[in-house]
């Protein structure tokens, strides 16, 4: 099942699925379903017309074209058409440049605007680049997360960066917490020249902090699809103005409800017929009901014989430890990396059947999916899916037994 927003035209669906529950009535596993809230305003993605449908061990799943003319009713075992984003180029971090040189160059070469929505921005190279672009007459606006979990040190917050950007003349605001989401702005998106030639949105797992480009496993999706850039910009402008938005388009957006991230991830997991390769900083099986459904789908797929492999940052967090134990009991394979001991796993990525991929700011946790502002992207471009999948499998081969799960 699957994906973000399809610019499906209004269809004659009898009973539609909710983006928060994916429940409904009477659908057969072979009938594509229309996902409400994702019609109109998206636009098809750059000639990439195929979508993904739910696979089952009996039917084999597969892809389906003609997304703009399909409808149906939804249930947890029915098929949803998802429209993948085109125009995606993936950068795997670390990339040897220490500052994610491609992203930095995109900011420095912007002609009209640089709009940033970021959980953590403390990298002085990027702060300087934003100030310099403002001084050069580029429209630079920044939305920063203000509050952080208890125990976070001052150096790991945006307070100093906010002051530096303000002093440099940059238009920076604190993110809202009462306009459609009520926890953290965990998004990591940089929008370059929206609406102009060369427009692009960098939709990332990576914060713009000092260590991430050097030490973390991260994925950066450079997205030149016009509809995606428009949607990312609409989210940015709404959060900048502290107004509500439930965007329509193909991006994977949290929180759910009202947005589509939980149903997209659930549908993506359910579409697997052979393999699910995942890499994540965090995962849990409780929290919001939507997160529990995503986790339950992973367990179900592992028990059904789908090869589930997961690379995690090792953690003694009890909820994550329990999730790992339950996945392993279902037949999934999990490896861990200790923080500060080489590669730090900060990715949030999934590849299904080696053919369909998600990367974004969403962790596979209830808090991330149910309460935070998050943005990700789903794509099927073979070369870019392969970049993510080969990296996950490389990291899986290099990982160790997940410590917390064996204590």
Domain ranges of the chain: 88-241, 252-406
- Residue 88 contacts residue 222 (beta carbons within 8 Å): yes
User: With 90 as the cut, is the pLDDT of residue 78 above it?
Assistant: no
Helices 318-330 and 289-303 pack at an angle, to 10 degrees, of 30
CATH tag, 88-241: 3.30.870.10
pLDDT mean across residues, the chain: 82
Per-residue pLDDT tens digits for 243-302: 999 998 999 999 998 999 988 999 999 999 999 999 999 999 876 677 788 999 999 999
Check residue 340 and give left, alpha or beta (phi > 0: left; psi -120 to 50: alpha): left
Per-residue pLDDT tens digits for 168-187: 999 999 999 887 777 899 99
What pLDDT is attached to residue 61?
35
What is the reported pTM? 0.82
Task: Identify the residue whose tokens are 């050069």.
Answer: 136
Per-residue pLDDT tens digits for 321-360: 999 999 999 999 999 999 888 899 999 999 999 999 999 9
- Residue 4 contacts residue 262 (beta carbons within 8 Å): no
What pLDDT is attached to residue 70?
29
What pLDDT is attached to residue 372?
93
What pLDDT is attached to residue 404?
64
Q: How many CB atoms lie within 10 A of CB 87?
A: 22
Q: How far apart are CA 158 and CA 172, in angstroms?
A: 11
Any bridge partners for residue 359, and if so which? 349, 377
Burial (0-12, 13-18, 19+ Cβ within 10 Å), 152:
exposed
Burial (0-12, 13-18, 19+ Cβ within 10 Å), 396:
middle
Percentage with pLDDT > 70 across the chain: 78
Q: How far apart are CA 137 and CA 167, in angstroms?
A: 16
What pLDDT is attached to residue 295?
93
User: With 80 as the cut, is the pLDDT of residue 218 above it?
Assistant: yes
What pLDDT is attached to residue 4?
34
Per-residue pLDDT tens digits for 2-48: 333 332 222 222 222 222 233 332 333 332 322 322 222 333 333 34
Of 107-111, 283-287, 314-318, 377-381, minimum mean pLDDT range: 283-287
Where b means 16+ CB within 10 Å and e means fewer, 241-265 reads eeeebebbbbbbbbbbbbbbbbbbb
Per-residue pLDDT tens digits for 145-174: 999 998 899 889 999 999 999 999 999 999
Helices 159-167 and 124-135 pack at an angle, to 10 degrees, of 20
Q: Which CATH superfamily is domain 252-406 in?
A: Endonuclease Chain A (3.30.870.10)
Q: Do domains 88-241 and 252-406 have the same CATH topology?
A: yes
More confident residue, 177 or 204: 204
What pLDDT is attached to residue 182?
78
Cα within 13 Å of Cα(73), Cβ side: 7
Q: In angstroms, how far is CA 343 from the centroid of its own chain? A: 21
Q: How far apart are CA 254 and CA 372, in angstroms?
A: 6
């Amino acid at each position: 099942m699957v994906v973000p927003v399809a610019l499906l035209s209004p269809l004659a669906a009898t009973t539609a699925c909710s983006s928060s529950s994916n429940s409904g009535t009477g659908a057969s596993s072979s009938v594509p379903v229309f996902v409400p809230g994702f019609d109109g305003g998206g636009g098809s993605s750059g000639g990439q017309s195929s979508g993904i449908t739910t696979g089952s061990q009996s039917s084999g799943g597969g892809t389906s074209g003609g997304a703009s003319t399909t409808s149906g009713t939804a249930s947890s075992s029915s098929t949803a058409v998802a429209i993948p984003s085109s125009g995606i180029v993936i950068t795997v971090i670390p990339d040897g440049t220490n500052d994610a040189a491609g992203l930095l160059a995109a900011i420095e070469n912007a002609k009209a605007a640089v709009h940033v929505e970021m959980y953590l921005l403390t990298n002085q190279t990027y702060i300087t680049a934003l100030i310099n672009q403002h001084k050069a007459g580029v429209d630079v606006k920044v939305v920063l997360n203000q509050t952080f979990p208890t125990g976070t040190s001052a150096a790991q917050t945006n307070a100093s960066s906010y002051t530096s950007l303000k002093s440099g003349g940059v238009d920076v605001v604190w993110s809202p917490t009462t306009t459609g989401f009520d926890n953290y702005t965990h998004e990591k998106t940089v929008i370059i020249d929206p609406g102009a030639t060369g427009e692009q949105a960098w939709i990332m797992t990576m914060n713009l902090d000092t260590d991430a480009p050097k030490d973390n496993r991260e994925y950066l999706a450079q997205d030149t699809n016009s509809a995606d850039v428009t949607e990312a910009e609409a989210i940015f402008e709404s959060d900048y103005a502290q107004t509500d938005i439930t965007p329509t388009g193909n991006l994977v957006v949290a929180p759910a409800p009202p947005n589509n991230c939980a149903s997209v991830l659930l549908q993506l997991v359910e579409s697997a017929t052979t393999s699910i390769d995942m890499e994540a900083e965090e995962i849990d099986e409780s929290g919001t009901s939507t997160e529990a459904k995503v986790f339950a789908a992973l367990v179900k797929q592992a028990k059904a014989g789908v090869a589930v492999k997961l690379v995690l940052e090792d953690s003694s967090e009890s909820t994550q430890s329990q999730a790992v134990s339950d996945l392993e009991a279902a037949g999934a394979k999990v490896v861990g990396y200790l923080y500060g001991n080489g590669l730090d796993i900060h990715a949030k990525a999934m590849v299904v059947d080696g053919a369909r991929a998600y990367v974004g700011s969403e962790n596979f946790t209830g808090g991330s999916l149910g309460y935070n502002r998050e943005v990700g992207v789903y794509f099927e471009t073979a070369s870019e899916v392969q970049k993510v999948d080969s990296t996950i499998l490389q990291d899986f081969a290099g990982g160790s037994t997940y410590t917390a799960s064996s204590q």
